[in-house]
Chains A and B, each alone.
Chain A
């Protein structure tokens, strides 16, 4: 990221068509989505389904950002930039879910009705 402007990489290149490649990616994505939907109905252990769902959607996520969004071909700084946000957002979500999942955080809304006068 700290590369100064002075270095001049090779002159521009003609963009090769990624038409077929994109179609393939899209097909894989659709298939994965199909698998996801089917997965929840299969009589598999819950932990397995959850893990599988999370992995699959993370895979889809990565496929879209790295291929459709060109990250794979862009300067690595774009990836860093985006992942700063992604990781912080993920970390915050993780922390919030833990905070609210803790025993101390069980809401008492069930008895709130009694307190209201």
Chain B
């Protein structure tokens, strides 16, 4: 017990108030308002910010998709130009992956992990805030190019147009001389930085901040998948980070990594990209598998079937996922042996994935399935993901893939796993946890309406694409001829996409309505299993009145069936905590935000390093170097002040009714 209490102050430092020795800015304390959100270190607020931005970008990416579909509705359409179309699919892919699904997962990591492990925050709260703002900076850089479509004077050459995997040598200065590619390179780089930092934080949080009694094999499956995902992120992102550095050097400093004239081999980019890129697709799908593994048992009224093997297969998927990257390169002339090796390794992934599917079905088996909206999306996930998985297996047969690669068959495959899989699970998760974090229910009726619209619209959009692909339609085609036999399939897919759009729109419109008008939810509207349902909705800043003690895998189900035992245990824990000086909470800070601002200034100017700085058409500096260095300076300074500032902290005291008062004894170091 003593450990549990001590954990509220993880530095283990003295509690005696000391005078502040260093400080440039007063530490922000506002909990609401702009300052409150900008400087927050509260994992729940950070999670909501991630979620809000991600949904925004999901809609942006969706609108880009609708423009793509509109262009393809009839042959030889001229709704958008070839150039704009190329920007659209590049930004659609990049946006959906890096700015929608990944941050939505990050949102749930933030919202749920600390609560599910029974902690009050992540291990490094300020670092967490830094990850968020760096992500925002990356998102800005990626999208800044759109400006030049509206303000030609900002001569960025439009949005990035190199495809989401930016194959060299198309990214070299010779073929895409404009700045859009530089922004793409730096934008992705910063998003990667953000993800690595965030993942390190989650790894430490999950491994080290578990409540007493919460052994690894009692962790909720979602948390386990988050852990595996975090490992994938920290291990996969470095590959693309280096590859991006190499492109950047090629573009700006004359290196030859991918410059053929200097002996470079563009295929190296593909290897490095997919060394990251394939684990990336599991980064996108493992957290969704986690949500589904939480939702299915809850609505089957039955613990997850085969918990250990579900966990283990998640780890196995992550691990094997590092050894299959070249299945994206079957057509690049790898030679027979390498092709065969990667084909077989790829097939192997079906086994652990299948294990998960089987155990989900095992969970349903013999349960009492309650088809609430989250459950509908979760069941939809199993069906749709399975279909996407099967087309993945079809791709892994390398000779057959020679026909499918870069055709609409691939588009069908990955939208089934990305929408039917990742997005369905995310929509399930949003609906499932919305009551927890906003305290209001989403109406079932409208939820189901949106589900059916999305389900039907999705299949109408992407099922025909299998046939388009087999009928020879290459992807990334701005337009196509009327005599290719693709007219009807495309027309149908486009109408499906509109239907899907209506569905998605309904889904989010209902959420907005519920936010204001939804019925109050109570703590545990779904009669669920994990710790987050044991605390109020929305959760108080400190999450737990007392750090819980975990007795079983489905911790909250256990507590609900052992109420007397738990009640006395809780009372004792709370008393001990108050005796210790109250609940220790970390202080807010400006510096993560400042550091990110430094990165923004630095990266924005670094992207245009060799260009003169113009103000109203007049040249004020011959290059952006000084501004880039200024950004770097701000970054370093902010980091230094950040480290001097220390984690700080204050205490929350709860009275008998659970009302909180704060005491700010001073600063800790």
> Which residues of A are in contact with B by a Cβ distance under 8 Å?
1-6, 8, 77, 84-85, 88, 91-92, 95-96, 98-100, 102-105, 107, 109, 112, 116
Contact = CB atoms under 8 A, between A and B. Distances in A.
Nearest to A6: B212
B263 A107 contact: yes
Contact of B271 (A4, A6, A84, A99): A99
B161 to A, nearest CB: 24
B217 interface: yes
30 contacts: A1-B207, A2-B215, A2-B216, A4-B212, A4-B213, A4-B215, A5-B4, A5-B212, A6-B212, A8-B2, A84-B231, A84-B235, A85-B234, A88-B235, A88-B322, A92-B322, A95-B323, A96-B271, A99-B334, A102-B335, A102-B338, A103-B335, A104-B338, A105-B267, A105-B334, A107-B263, A107-B265, A109-B260, A109-B263, A112-B261
B261 to A, nearest CB: 7
A99 B216 contact: no
Interface string B489-507: 0000000000000000000
B4 A99 contact: no
Contacts of B216: 1-2
B3 interface: yes
A33 to B, nearest CB: 27
A4 B212 CA distance: 6
B14 interface: no
Interface in B4-52: 4, 7
B90 interface: no
B335 A104 contact: yes
B215 A99 contact: no
A107 to B, nearest CB: 5
B7 A5 contact: yes
- Residue among A85, A95, A102, A103 with the most chain B CB within 10 A? A95
Given A104-B333, A107-B263, A8 B338 contact: no
A1 B213 CA distance: 13
B574 to A, nearest CB: 18
Q: Main secondary structure on chain A at its contact with chain B?
A: helix
B239 A8 contact: no
Contacts of B214: 4
Contacts of B235: 84-85, 88
Interface in B260-312: 260-261, 263, 265, 267-268, 271, 275
Contact of B210 (A4, A100, A109): A4
A8 B231 CA distance: 28
A112 B326 CA distance: 25
Contact of A5 (B3, B261, B333): B3
A99 B275 CA distance: 13
Interface in B322-341: 322-323, 326, 333-335, 337-338
Contacts of A116: 261
Contacts of B260: 109, 112
Given A84-B235, A109-B263, A91 B3 contact: no
Contacts of A99: 271, 326, 334, 338
A55 B179 CA distance: 47
Nearest to B239: A92
Nearest to A113: B261
Contacts of B3: 5-6, 8
A8 B4 CA distance: 12
Contacts of A2: 215-217
B334 A104 contact: yes
Nearest to A99: B338
A91 B323 contact: yes
A77 B227 CA distance: 15
B315 to A, nearest CB: 11
Contacts of B217: 2
Nearest to B322: A88
Nearest to B215: A2
A85 B271 CA distance: 18
Nearest to B272: A96
Nearest to B216: A2
Nearest to B279: A88
Nearest to A2: B216
Nearest to A98: B338
A104 B3 CA distance: 59
Contacts of B267: 105
Contacts of B213: 4, 6
A110 B303 CA distance: 63
Contacts of B215: 2-4
Nearest to A110: B263
A76 B22 CA distance: 38
B335 A105 contact: yes
B322 A5 contact: no
4 nearest A-B residue pairs (beta carbon): A104-B335, A2-B216, A2-B215, A5-B3
Contacts of B333: 104
A38 B326 CA distance: 40
A98 B145 CA distance: 39
A89 B67 CA distance: 41
Interface in B81-129: none
